[in-house]
Amino acid sequence: MLQSTHEIILASESPRRKQLLDEAGFRFVVFPIKVSEKLKKNLNLEAQIMELAERKSLVAENELKLLKRKDYLLITADTMVTLEGEALGKPENKKEAEHMLTRLSGRSHCVKTAICVFASSSNQRICEIQSTDVFFRPIMRQEILDYIATGEPMDKAGAYAIQGEGKKFVEKYIGPYDNVVGLPVDLLKKVLQGFNYGI
């Protein structure tokens, strides 16, 4: 079991991030927050994703202050599928999900996850980003429609889940698998070491 003198707080509603932390042996609590995921267009792509993870961190920090929580390490993250320099977020409807998957068909894309760790005791925040290249096989339109009908794509960046039925579209990937799921655990451990987290 991984240990820390600080409480570990995961500010995320994602069951996938919770599962990844569980499987990595972390002891933590979940603190769901609601934050606008609209990207700031005046920033480059990586800066946009990083800013969103940091925005989540700032919102969670302020809410925890109101609750008078102390001595904690706060983890936030944001994952984006990127194609040709464009971020593909979560589809707003089935038509958008179909459009995203059609664009990804037979091509490679990059999944980027930004993570932020905030230490309340030192008021220090560290943010890092991880990338994984994913290669899709060509997908027939009916396959896309059948997949959308399962409902799985609707709350996933890029309209697919590599850990779910979406894996059938993936030919290969280069980089961390858990980064595509939503949380690069090795990068997180590296960041936590900067806060003297006992790993």
**pTM of the full predicted structure?**
0.89
d(CA 105, CA 90): 17
In 7-126, which residue ranges form alpha helices assigned H by DSSP? 15-23, 45-66, 94-104
81-118 pLDDT per residue, tens: 999 988 898 899 999 999 999 999 999 999 999 999 99
Whether 78 sits among the annotated catalytic residues: the reply is yes
Catalytic residue among 71, 78, 155, 178: 78
Ordered domains of the chain (ranges, CATH): 7-193 (3.90.950.10)
Greater model confidence, 195 or 48: 48
Across the range 62-75, mean pLDDT stands at: 93
Determine what percent of the chain is predicted with pLDDT higher than 70: 96
